[in-house]
């Protein structure tokens, strides 16, 4: 299994000179709970403006700090609920 934002395993094999021939594999995509991948999913889903910084804490606590429009904040609150492994969304934003 591999998270969609993880490196392509076939490309990794090519990079070390193995190519595809000596290795047979079958990969299934799944949402990994590795914090770096959870945060990458949050960034991709929420598309924060450059003025907002996202962080991920213990227990899947997603934080957003900075400045954002009312529209982005409203949409982010709704979208954060759809992100796998996010337990809480804490907004510390100015508008």
Give the global pTM. Answer: 0.74
pLDDT digits (tens, 9 = 90+) for 49-91: 999 999 999 999 999 999 999 999 999 999 999 999 999 999 9
> Exposed/middle/buried for 62, CB within 10 Å: 0-12, 13-18, 19+?
buried
64 token code pair: 């957003």
Q: Pick the more confident residue, 30 or 71.
A: 71
Determine contact, residues 13/54, Cβ cutoff 8 Å. no
């Amino acid at each position: 299994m591999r998270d969609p934002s993880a490196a392509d395993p076939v490309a990794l094999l090519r990079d070390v000179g193995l190519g595809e021939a000596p290795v047979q594999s079958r990969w299934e995509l799944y949402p990994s709970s590795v914090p770096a991948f959870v945060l990458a999913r949050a960034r991709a889903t929420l598309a924060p403006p450059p003025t907002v910084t996202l962080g991920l804490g213990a227990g899947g606590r997603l934080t957003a700090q900075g400045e954002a429009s009312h529209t982005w904040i409203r949409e982010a609150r709704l979208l954060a609920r759809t992100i796998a492994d996010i337990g809480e969304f804490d907004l510390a934003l100015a508008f």
